Amino acid sequence: MKLHVTFLPAEVSGMDLSDTVCIVLDIFRATSSIVTAAANGCQSVLPVLSAEEAQDLARQTKSCLLAGERKSVRIEGFDLGNSPAEFSRDKVQDRPIIMATTNGTVAIRATEGAWRTWIGSFLNAAAVCRQAQQHGKDILIVCAGTERLFSLEDALCAGQLVEILQGREQAVILSDAAYAALLMYTQSKGRLAEVAGRSRNGQRLYDLGRTDDIAYCLQSNILDIVPEYKHGTIRH
């Protein structure tokens, strides 16, 4: 099994993913929020690329919630931003969510054509690795990045997934990018909050007073749910 990591969605362009399992990561905070929403019983999440697309789709979707952010701040007029704390059971249970974020939904949509696409995070790291590995396919971990730039927190989570996947199977061939992610994670895993907190997105969340989100998103293996992106919709 080959295991590769892309640190930006743009790197996926032109890849033939038809026989590849993808895991998408946007730790601060889109995929962490999607996994949380799924665990709290949302009906589905529809990832879109713009606020305008989200609003157009909302006019066609009954009882939906609009979720989205720009520069980590909730889009004006939307029901939710992209903080996992907003996706509580009392708000999202049995509701479809239309989500537009700066980076995460772009990364999810970049995996169109993959054999399977799963939504990952620290929160469901072991579960998403178990789900991805059971199919015997090559695995591509797609990091969302931040505004087309490398994101440290995504790379650290990719490294954790690489460690888990490598530990479960002997015949794993790591790309240089997968090995680099593993090295970053193993050097940092004893102090994830300190390291990830100094990232660009970590500092932005600190500035917004969202230290609770940083702490929550960096918890490992607290959820077993693995949402799947298929035919334009995320379900679980």
Q: How many C-beta atoms lie closer than 10 Å to residue 112's C-beta?
A: 13
Nearby residues of 190 by Cβ (< 8 Å), 6 or more positions away: none
Classify domain 2-235 at the CATH class level.
alpha beta
Q: How far apart are the first and last CA of the chain?
A: 25
Provide the pLDDT for residue 170. Answer: 66
Quote the pTM value.
0.97
* Farthest CA pair distance, the chain: 50
Q: How many C-beta atoms lie closer than 10 Å to residue 113's C-beta?
A: 13
Provide the pLDDT for residue 171. Answer: 85
Provide the pLDDT for residue 26. Answer: 98
To the nearest whole number, what is the mean pLDDT of the chain? 96
| 162-208 pLDDT, tens digit each | 999 998 766 899 999 999 999 999 999 999 999 999 999 999 999 99
CA distance 68 to 47: 10
Answer whether 169's CB lies under 8 Å from 34's CB: no
| 28-40 pLDDT, tens digit each | 999 999 999 999 9
Answer whether 185's CB lies under 8 Å from 27's CB: no
Q: Nearest Cα to 141, choosing from 123, 124, 121?
A: 121
